[in-house]
Structure 1
């Protein structure tokens, strides 16, 4: 036969620490005198402000909102708006060819390694999010993208 300790019997009967302390349902246990919130900041962390289509995610990585135009004659950054960076891709939108070419082209434009430019969202959509794994700032990325539009 299985023997239960007092604590388990109390939990089975519906009486836990809250009931034995005489607290109403939904109430919290009182904090000990001198207890502090170790490692917790008093106010929640806010993500840094976004620079239009280029944002910094909470973990510190830079992401770019892309509006892809596959099947173009040549690769080019055509426009930088508040919502997205428009990029013409010289690859067909089949079997991920345009996605691979987009990452290759952006790595060249942003002067990063190919492995540092990763498609994060939108594998089958024209609206995509590209994540940059290299340590860089959103301001630098936005400036390089705007320079590409001016060259056009």
Structure 2
């Protein structure tokens, strides 16, 4: 039976609360499947690997490898695995294989807060 215009349902909660927390603002977030993702602004061809800056959009990472044939992408994953104390196989490039704007997915169980803290520590070393 169709509802009448203006009729309200009795006894039901009218406000729906979100089931999950809103995504964290910043470069480190959690994807819908529960993996931690990091937005990266890659700077290939640098003298050495380093986290250069942390902004609200992305983490700036200088990579000491040329941007050809995926060398910089492999070096980026290798460097991030070292910084975050993860296995190399737990750090995979999710998006941006041919772009400077990349998204890296962490397959290991970690929290965005832990990752952000380690990246901040590495950025302060320079």
Same fold (TM > 0.5): yes
Q: Which has the larger radius of gyration?
A: 1
Find the counterpart in structure 2 of residue 34 from structure 1: none
Q: Deviations over 1:56-75 (max 9, x none)?
A: 11111100000000000000
Q: Which runs of 5+ in 2 are unaligned?
A: 3-15
In 1, distance between residues paired with 2:123 and 2:80?
13
Contact in 2 for aligned 1:117/1:132 (Cα 8 Å): yes
In 1, distance between residues paired with 2:24 and 2:44?
26
TM-score by length of 1: 0.70
Find the counterpart in structure 2 of residue 113 from structure 1: 87
CA-CA distance at 1:49 after TM superposition: 2.8
Q: Which runs of 4+ in 1 moved over 2 A?
A: 42-49
Q: Which has the higher contact order (CA 8 A, sep 6+)?
A: 2
Q: 2:103 aligns with which of 129, 133, 142?
A: 129
Q: Deviations over 1:87-141 (max 9, x none)?
A: 0000000000000000000000000000000000000000000000000000000
- Determine which structure has the larger strand proportion and give its number: 2
Count, aligned residues = 113
